[in-house]
A = this chain, B = another copy of it.
Amino acid sequence: MKETDLITKLTTDLPTDSSIDVGPGDDCAVINVDGKNVLLKTDAVVEGVHFTADTPPEKIGRKAIARPLSDIAAMGGRPSHAVVTVGLPEDFDETRLKTIYRGAGEMGEQNGTYIVGGEITRNPVLLISVSLIGHVETDRVLTRKGSRDGDAVFVTGELGGSIAGKHLDFDPRLAEARWLAEQFEIHAMIDLSDGLATDLRYLLGDNLGAELLTPAIPISRAAKERARDNPAGKSALLAALTDGEDYELLFTLPSKQAVSLHDDWKTAFPELPLHCIGKITSQPGLHLRDDKGIQPFHAQGYDHLQ
């Protein structure tokens, strides 16, 4: 069973309440607290899954908090405070743990987020669970739902090959998402954590599809190098479509806004590429179009439980 299916199964019958604007199944929960939209998100990294024993401790800490920060970004929100639970193996080096914490604290502060509490428990391997609180104005909440037939599909940055290094060293796209929510009519947004092919499907629901222009998909240098070094493995394009942990923004908006978005983006964020990679269609499913024609694409991205 896939992680998302399992989460859906687990959370479907949970007690609910009118204060919950967005519950399980989006990048963050949105709850109404005295008329304010409060964002809530939790996420964990585990040794052997999200990093290794060799990973520099500062990067472990940075990644642990950057992942949920990326989810806050994808809701159009501003993060503010974090609490951290560490699952600590016996005899874990205290200096290493302190460096992990420092990395998390610094990455948090760089994004306006402060660690306000911590717990430590025993665990067979190092695990760092970070929960974040943030907020977002009512007219700027970006969810995964809302794509419309004909929307343009955009993605920031370049995709694939994150395992070569980017997964430990990325910046949550908080400023970019805020700017988008303020300037344009964003219909739906998600941060790319499980791979473009998987995450794009979350923006489609059951009734919509997407047609991607293969040559328009931005392939990272890392994905290209990995494909070159391992000709029997994933092609660079397949890596861009299915590798996890890109931590870029994927979003849809009315196609008539696409040109001005392109122009304004270059002024606002000259160092981060933005690409229109296709459009939302009324035909369900994911299709790839290139100069040879159009064909369905069935491969999925990364799943944590598989």
Contact = CB atoms under 8 A, between A and B. Distances in A.
Contact of A42 (B28, B48, B114, B129): B129
A97 B9 CA distance: 10
A38 interface: yes
Interface stretch (A117-125, A202-210, A272-280): A117-125
A138 to B, nearest CB: 14
Interface residues of A, number: 69
Interface in A1-56: 1, 3, 6-7, 9-11, 13-17, 19-20, 22-24, 28-29, 31, 33-34, 36, 38, 40-46, 48-50
Given A33-B80, A135-B33, A14 B122 contact: no
Task: Quickly give the copy total for this chain.
Answer: 2
A223 to B, nearest CB: 24
Interface in A232-263: none
A42 B127 CA distance: 14
Interface of A: 1, 3, 6-7, 9-11, 13-17, 19-20, 22-24, 28-29, 31, 33-34, 36, 38, 40-46, 48-50, 80-81, 83-85, 87-88, 94, 97-98, 101-102, 105-106, 108-109, 114-125, 127, 129, 131, 133, 135, 304-305
List of 10 A-B pairs having minimum Cβ-Cβ separation, nearest first: A131-B131, A29-B116, A15-B109, A42-B83, A29-B117, A124-B124, A129-B129, A14-B105, A10-B101, A17-B114
